[in-house]
Amino acid sequence: MADPVTVENDGDVDAFLDAVTPERRREDARTLRALLERATGQPARMWGTSIVGFGRYHYRYASGREGDAPAAGFSPRKANLSVYFMLGFDAFADDLARLGPHTTSVSCLYLKSLDGVDLALLEDMVGRSYRDVVSHVWPGA
């Protein structure tokens, strides 16, 4: 089994965010950092080269694969801001309907920008997701 690439490291979060382009995406990334720090109560840490993570959890799958991952996080990607909801969105259907412009995949919330997004609601969603992840019992654990 290969070693995971996305591991917590001592990368400089400020330097990473300072390098985000364009400027609007950089400003949104800084806003997200502060929002996730408040929502989780955890400091921002780099995971891999492009994910800003908050807290951590250990997972172990029935297949035997296991590792650590951020309990909450985001990445300011070229196409959008990706906010990670590790357990998905089943508990957030009503919230998503009120959040503002976004799309989702299995565990990613994609935001083109923070314009029109209800940031107080997003902070609440991230906080609930974080608490669910850190209290979740992982199969095989």
Q: Is residue 121 part of a domain?
A: yes
Q: What per-residue confidence (pLDDT) applies to 141?
A: 52
CA-based nearest residue to 124, from 81, 91, 101: 91
- Per-position pLDDT tens, the chain of length 141: 555 668 999 999 999 999 999 999 999 999 999 999 999 999 999 999 999 999 999 888 778 888 899 999 999 999 999 999 999 999 999 999 999 999 999 999 999 999 999 999 999 999 999 999 999 866 655
Hey, what amino acid is at 3? Answer: D
Give the three-state DSSP class for 42: coil
Tell me the residue range of the domain where 13 lies.
8-135
Residues in the chain, overall count: 141
Number of domains, the chain: 1
- In this prediction the pTM is 0.92
Q: Is residue 29 part of a domain?
A: yes
Q: Is residue 129 part of a domain?
A: yes
Give the count of beta carbons closer than 10 Å to the beta carbon of residue 68: 15
Q: Are 107 and 88 in contact (CB under 8 A)?
A: yes
CATH number of the domain at 63, please. Answer: 3.90.1150.200
